[in-house]
Structure 1
């Protein structure tokens, strides 16, 4: 046999298992390497069974009896086989049980019952479902993780090792030098060994780069391939067709429908889709279980169960859907699923579901793109697309930075609408104008805001006029009049208008107060906002507002407050996927570090920030209007450190972020120079004022009256002071003050 690649630990584990269990079944998709692994395990165990190992090949026969007839014992029935084996100790490898599953199940049951010395190792695309059966799933070979690829690591993955080994039998080793192309080919084939071997055989005709290009179109080119030794194997396509034929009519229809989905789906999603696909007569959970047992659906690891199909199975399913003229029905099903996901995200965004919804939206971006592309060509789907985009736009901007995508989608949808437009269409125009301002500046957005207001006037949609004015104000240089405008928009939008994000306007109101110097008002609103957000369980909106306040503090040259707020924002991101807000807070900390003289630390932080921004897909954000001037910061650092002096720490930071996706969220505020050793150095100017008044014994009410601020503002500052000083009560402030004076 050829070398077993990428299965060493699995082979050891299964060898131990087969030595203890009388029945073990290896399940997995066609071509995944079940037979090769089973034969390796059998070879390892042959001495334990006195070399009495029989391999029963079921793939090319019509019954178990036909396969038994070619064995040395010459049996043609279960009874004859049992008589021949008797009480001897033997290992039977029963290969490819799936197409005669009932007969195989009966054979195994009888042999185990009547032959106490027999152990059976079976391979199948579904389990035998017998008492005492141990089941192990054979997964595709490991691929190179994207994070390792980005770091420039060139050790080939297990899948690539198999490809290179088989390629060496077809062409000289020095003809296959593009490891990235090899890894891409293996990824396109889902790490399936049979597919990889068939692809390697194609190197007799194509370079690895040409092979990659063709596989990006279809895997059907492997249908007539031969392996390197010239022996024709069952093609990947035929292997998949075999699996398809073994499924029930309902399972085949679900396979076809799920094939158009790019993203993994949760169990709940698949169950609800099954009801839509085949109706309520079938138990959805049982159907999912059957498809998993038949190695059609693959369960992915993670915090919660999600499922997908291998890419080759998806392509086969899509082909079958096109041939059955169901493709449009399934495209509509995907659009409605995307719409449902977006609406769920909108309703539950301010909750503890925010992180999981954000992650699901990120995974589902390919499906969103395809759903919108299909929907805009079908007039009866336009309303569903509007619903989807109005519900999803803010989550996609805040956590993914997908402004370019959203603008493209809105352009496509709005171009197909005619006047007079409904309320949803008017709101979509407002969102489009706002995103245009974020991406291209206020001047580009003004005509679009004017158009949105005009469309709103045409249908008497007065609230939308206010929403448009408020959105334009958020993008404009701050003015006192913006406070009343935002307050009006918040009050009008509190009724839950679809697509209007009151939470975003509340955050903008806090930032406007802060930029106008209304620090007391901003702190009061911030305290209330943080309290509500904390109770709801959400984190992203808290991080967003702290990000804006940190930038404003930096622009006022309040470095302590800027570092404190940015660090608090990053603490909220701990354990979550990186986002644009993480990148912006790292940039703020970099600017603070540079202002404090730590240029090396600043360059490193910029490296981390840029890598995070690259991973999440962009830099566009509403906070660009109050940015730290990131290009100028880098320019100064390059001037001060020199090209090489800047590059080293910058690349170190980027590498650290690539090695650990959460490294950026664990960066602490850059340390102040060592000379800042006084216990009060960490407090802001306002906190110092309040600290002194607390030390004098004033109550919160007296402090509020003295400083002409609200009680809530004082309470918030007192809590910050206690936290920064490591105190648990205000009495400790009084006692410290007395000790310092003596």
Structure 2
């Protein structure tokens, strides 16, 4: 079952009545909002309810954190990002969501929506009538106030009634005991302790966050001491907003109590950590440490805050342990940070570190000799891990009007946005900062050139040319050779798409001359690759092959495997078009292994489609269908409408070759209509079957929406694959080199490319090439097939 719900790191206590009620509401209503004050347990309750409702939603349950969203576009973009949507056309994010979710059956859990209630409500209202099988479970401190919303006000945990019944039957007491045992494993409940625990829970009004914070103190204080200190704190609940409800003042008081019990270094660190969405120790040391809080002390202080339940351990991400705060605690800490007078300084340091990470990625992404692929990929992964902090830095810069820093971030983040397919996000932020006045014309030019690349990849050629030409002019005036070469390459791609071949040839010749003179192998490699695409578009296959090989030589020399993977796709297409099917398959499979390592959906789908087409041409129908089906599903699930149309047509061609003319024509008609609706021109080759019943089938296909068409194509592919199952090779029949055999055996043990590389003392890129060769020799298309074969 598809879902992204986090693992529960501690036990879920009580709330049986609430869970039953919420699950019943989800069965009747499509929008259920859990309301309540901060710390009442809305998020934890929503996550438990969502986990229990997973079986109801065939397309999964997806958690979308909304605490950092401040605009309608940001709300839609956050949902799209969680769902892995990549728009390949210039349209609003919420329209992309409508296209994607129209026939999906899933539950969206929108958490911490109080920061953008109106915007969340607006997006949901647009999706509800157009996506009839999508439901929403929302947590917020106030209702959305939209039609059809079912509201569940989350109550406090039950507290023991003085002098009546067993206190252990109260949910609040159960929670205290559970969390106390988590902090002190030898904690036992005696009659005396039970009476004090009951007093604590009553004084805390059954608020879960307050109870957890109090229970975290059992290693330092007895429960009687905790109860006594709480009595002192709550004698007069007047701190903060005197007009606030009593329970809200209670929570503020318990947060004050927890804060006051920290020593000064712990308080200082808690305040400073609030600038992060989440963080690791290295980032915390860079932002939070100074003379008053030395870096070498931060680990011990962090452990102390975790012990007191003020900081939560998220888990290990890309080899680094990450931490976060509950939103209520973070808002409290932010307020304390503002009171301290340090907020602006800490936010500036936060942005400085995010910018440093982004600019390191930007440097490694285009650097030439002397930079390894491991360095490039590590920088990319680090920015991916800090994606929420990136958005925080962008938002803060935009709110302050810091246009220079905002544009620097946009320029640096271009590789992150491009590889992850986050083109709409990149376009939004770049346009937002370009709309501000900026005296630095060089920086504006750099941002414009990169915005042109986003526009070109999103099928908006006119905007790519307009903004690209202006950006190129500014970069030429500034003597920024790298941005000039990038601009020339992007504009040449736009020229090729528009059929302006002479202009494209001139730009590429200029780019090659410039990059060779300035020793810029990355942009020269891209220029050579684009020359290959130009020659291929004109049918000059031998020239195209030579240009692509030159590009591959350059990119392999500088150890740039993302560039190699992209170039291999073009090289594979040339081999395919010129009849070299073995060469085409070898290129597509090597590119496929690289893209699986990187994880970019657009290029991964293109590789799968290439392998599928070549296998079909070789008569390996079952394998072809499997690859084409995976490519089509990936495109459809990530909102790539052009890729979806191409996938439908590819499966239609295989079905036609099998003699399934009616089904094939219907799919081809659906592909034609989808291209037309998304603003892309029809393919140059017309569908060969016309007239009679084929016209009827064609029109039937054109009337399908994308979901119906993809479902029909999947059925065709599954039937075709099942009717032509490929035999497995015997181990003795395979002609593998000793190294390839060694790699295959390690794949059979479940090891990743990186783990294999460490075991064999070779680079991950070399492992990827071995995997591609093994797939080619065995006629496979996945690591799973290699593992099954070697283990058999």
TM bracket (short chain): 0.5 to 0.7
Deviations 1:449-487 (A, max 9, x none): 332244346667688656533320133215544542231
Alignment pair present for 1:392 and 2:289: no
- Choose the corresponding residue for 2:448, options 410, 429, 453: 429
Counterpart Cα distance in 1 of 2:22 and 2:463: 58
Alignment pair present for 1:226 and 2:156: yes
- In structure 2, the gaps of 5 or more residues are 50-105, 115-138, 143-151, 161-169, 171-201, 214-254, 366-371, 656-661, 668-707, 734-771, 779-792
- Choose the corresponding residue for 2:207, options 235, 239, 245: 235
Partner of 1:377: 399
Deviations 1:311-332 (A, max 9, x none): 3443443344455565444433
Deviations 1:620-643 (A, max 9, x none): 99xx9xx99445335655832977
Post-superposition shift, 1:355? 3.2
Alpha carbons of structure 1 residues 441 and 213: separation in structure 2 relative to 1, 3 Å: closer
Post-superposition shift, 1:612? 4.0
Counterpart Cα distance in 1 of 2:597 and 2:111: 39
Is 604-613 or 386-395 further displaced after alignment? 604-613
Residues 123-522 of structure 1 aligned to structure 2 (within 5 Å): 146=3, 165-167=16-18, 171=21, 174-175=24-25, 177=27, 196=45, 215-217=112-114, 225-228=155-158, 232=202, 233-239=205-211, 240=213, 241=255, 242-262=257-277, 264-275=278-289, 279-280=293-294, 283-295=297-309, 296-298=311-313, 300-312=315-327, 313-322=329-338, 326-349=342-365, 351-379=373-401, 381-397=402-418, 399-418=419-438, 421-456=440-475, 467-477=486-496, 480-491=505-516, 494=519, 504-505=526-527, 507-509=529-531, 511-512=533-534, 516-517=540-541, 518-519=543-544, 521-522=546-547
Residues 78-157 of structure 1 aligned to structure 2 (within 5 Å): 146=3
Post-superposition shift, 1:568? 0.9
Q: How many residues align?
A: 496
Deviations 1:527-569 (A, max 9, x none): 5235424xx4x53222121122223434445433322211111
Q: Is the 8 A contact 2:623 2:726 kept in 1?
A: no
Alpha carbons of structure 1 residues 618 and 509: separation in structure 2 relative to 1, 3 Å: farther
Q: Is the 8 A contact 2:525 2:550 kept in 1?
A: no
Deviations 1:483-519 (A, max 9, x none): 42231242355479xxx95664454455556664315
Counterpart Cα distance in 2 of 1:377 and 1:581: 35
Deviations 1:250-286 (A, max 9, x none): 3333323333423x43332222122259554863333
Counterpart Cα distance in 1 of 2:48 and 2:461: 52
Post-superposition shift, 1:375? 0.8
Partner of 1:539: 561
Is 546-555 or 579-588 further displaced after alignment? 546-555
Partner of 1:11: none
Partner of 1:132: none
Report the secondary structure of 1:301's partner residue. strand
Structure (1 or 2) with the larger CA radius of gyration: 1
Deviations 1:174-216 (A, max 9, x none): 456379989x979x9999799539999xxxxxxxx99977853
Counterpart Cα distance in 2 of 1:502 and 1:303: 32
Counterpart Cα distance in 2 of 1:601 and 1:191: 53
- In structure 1, the gaps of 5 or more residues are 1-143, 150-155, 201-208, 655-666, 680-719, 727-742
Q: Is the 8 A contact 1:346 1:392 kept in 2?
A: yes
Alpha carbons of structure 1 residues 503 and 415: separation in structure 2 relative to 1, 3 Å: farther
Q: Is the 8 A contact 1:429 1:452 kept in 2?
A: yes
Residues 629-668 of structure 1 aligned to structure 2 (within 5 Å): 629-630=646-647, 632-633=649-650, 636=653, 639-640=663-664, 647=711, 650=714
Counterpart Cα distance in 1 of 2:619 and 2:39: 50
Report the secondary structure of 2:374's partner residue. coil
Counterpart Cα distance in 2 of 1:185 and 1:449: 47
Q: Is the 8 A contact 1:393 1:406 kept in 2?
A: yes
Counterpart Cα distance in 2 of 1:481 and 1:453: 15
TM-score, L = length of structure 2: 0.51
Q: Is the 8 A contact 1:354 1:539 kept in 2?
A: no
Counterpart Cα distance in 2 of 1:618 and 1:198: 26
Q: Is the 8 A contact 2:156 2:208 kept in 1?
A: no
Q: Is the 8 A contact 2:629 2:714 kept in 1?
A: yes
Counterpart Cα distance in 2 of 1:434 and 1:410: 12
Alpha carbons of structure 1 residues 164 and 354: separation in structure 2 relative to 1, 3 Å: farther
Q: Is the 8 A contact 2:536 2:574 kept in 1?
A: yes
Post-superposition shift, 1:593? 4.1
Alpha carbons of structure 1 residues 405 and 353: separation in structure 2 relative to 1, 3 Å: same
TM-score, L = length of structure 1: 0.54
